[in-house]
Amino acid sequence: MKIYSYVLMVLVILATSAPTLAIAQYENEGDRQPDTMILTIFSLTLYVTIFAILGIVGYSVWKVFKIRRKAAKMKLV
């Protein structure tokens, strides 16, 4: 159970660090035109967010099913 929360935390860290890297990259570039790498890093934020949301929803569904199964078992006993 704890592994899921750790996975979610890793996703959040990725989501937060990716745009920070892009900003740092932009600062390094100065006045020059930025390359496509920044665009890629920013786009990563969206994908990480989508996967994090799917992770949260999946985790919640799994938890509900787990409790339902437990309740059904207790009814049988």
Partner 1 sequence: MRISSIQSYLKISMIVTLVFVPAVVYADEGDGFSIAATLGWLAIGCGMVANLSLVIFKMMKKMSIMKLVGDAGTSQNLTAMYKPVLNFHIMLNSVGFFAGLSHGFMLIRDLDYISLSLVIVMTVSMISGIILRFTSGKNLKFFSRLVHGQAVLAAMLVTLVVLHVITRWHHGIIMNFI
Residues 65, 66, 71, 74: is their CA dihedral positive or negative?
positive
Q: Which of 31, 33, 72, 74 binds partner 1 (CB under 8 A)?
A: 33
C-beta separation of 45 from 1 below 8 A: no
Considering the complex, state which of residue 68 and residue 76 has its C-beta at the smaller distance from partner 1.
68
Asked if 16 interacts with partner 1 (CB under 8 A), we say yes
Closest CA relative to residue 11, chosen from 52, 40, 50, 42 = 52
| The token pair that represents 67 in the structure block | 């409790």
Asked if 60 interacts with partner 1 (CB under 8 A), we say yes
Asked if 12 interacts with partner 1 (CB under 8 A), we say yes
Asked if 23 interacts with partner 1 (CB under 8 A), we say yes
Considering the complex, state which of residue 36 and residue 76 has its C-beta at the smaller distance from partner 1.
36
